[in-house]
Amino acid sequence: MVIATSSDSQHKSCPHNPEISCGNCRLGAICLPLTLEDEEIVKLDEIVRRGRPLQKGEHMYRTGDDFTAVYAVRSGAIKAYRITGDGEEQVTGFYFPGEIIGMDGISKNKYASSAKALETSAICEIPFSRFEELSRQVPTVQRHFFQLMSQEITSDQQLITLLSKNTADERVASLLVSISARNARRNLSDSNFRLPMSRADIGNFLGLTVETVSRVMSRFSKQKLISINNKDVMLLDINRLKEIASITD
């Protein structure tokens, strides 16, 4: 093995490593391959394209771009957003490793939203026409993709409920608990993590201003529910947070 001279010599263990397949990706258990047999994963692998990682701020796609593919996040974090009639941004979701994004493009064959990287992120591109074909051949793939889209619908509906009924405290607690749960799914700490998005993005997503988000988090901190150091968060009392978020399912 050649000793690398540049600083990216640690590349092989880097989570953005492109030399990976669905078969050996440690996200297999939560990503698209979830229910697949080995030979089906091979077929999926033939379709999936892995490009260079996106840098922070780079777009995967923008509103109005021709829809060609859905994307699986392999590392990093992505935010999806739309632009309102009067030019404002509305964040519609945050996507973490193992999650699929871009399904809103199917209906009109153009993306209805934009997606950009919140930090350096590796992405698996899944060209849709080839994937559609695979779906027809492999019932479990079709079923699983129906389920993924359905999941997107139910999570959007949860957000609708949140925006319609909940207070600022409840909204912020919900987001923290949600991120915690999604970390747990990836076998990461459910109580100690870094928020990849800005306070502005959080506020935008939750239908609150930056100031309100900041105040709520400060208050949670004073109440010893969380401990914050800029973007690093520690959940000190997850159960209480869940209560505040009034998580039922």
Chain contacts with a copy of itself (rule: CB under 8 A): 82, 84-86, 88, 90, 92, 103-108, 112-113, 132, 135-136, 139, 142-143, 145-154, 156-157, 159-161, 163-165, 204, 207, 246-248
> Of all residues in the chain, what percent are helix, strand and coil, respectively (each to 5)?
45, 20, 35
Q: Which residue has the tokens 């010893």?
A: 224
**Nearer to a copy of itself among residue 70 and residue 124 (C-beta):** 70
CB 125 within 8 A of CB 71: yes
Query: Is position 90 an interface residue for DNA (rule: CB under 7 A)?
Result: no
**Nearer to a copy of itself among residue 4 and residue 160 (C-beta):** 160
DSSP states of 11-33 as a string?
GGGSTT-S---TTT-TTTTTSGG
What is the Cα–Cα distance from 146 to 78, expressed in whole angstroms?
A: 22
168 binds, among DNA, a copy of itself, none (CB under 5 to 8 A by kind): DNA
210 binds, among DNA, a copy of itself, none (CB under 5 to 8 A by kind): DNA
Query: Is position 129 an interface residue for DNA (rule: CB under 7 A)?
Result: no
Rounded to a whole number of angstroms, the minimum distance from the CB of residue 98 to a copy of itself is 15
57 binds, among DNA, a copy of itself, none (CB under 5 to 8 A by kind): none
38 binds, among DNA, a copy of itself, none (CB under 5 to 8 A by kind): none
Residue of the chain from 43, 110, 215, 240 that contacts DNA (CB under 7 A) = 215
Q: Which residue has the tokens 């994963």?
A: 41
CB 15 within 8 A of CB 7: no
**Nearer to DNA among residue 105 and residue 196 (C-beta):** 196
Query: Is position 64 an interface residue for DNA (rule: CB under 7 A)?
Result: no
Cα 174 from chain centre: 15
Residue 54 forms beta bridges with which residues?
121
The candidate with the shortest Cα–Cα distance to 151, out of 196, 182, 195, is 182
Question: Residue 28: exposed, middle, or buried by beta-carbon count in 10 A (0-12, 13-18, 19+)?
Answer: middle
Contact positions with DNA (CB under 7 A) in 183-202: 198-200
What is the Cα–Cα distance from 218 to 223, expressed in whole angstroms?
A: 9
247 binds, among a copy of itself, DNA, none (CB under 5 to 8 A by kind): a copy of itself
Rounded to a whole number of angstroms, the minimum distance from the CB of residue 237 to a copy of itself is 18
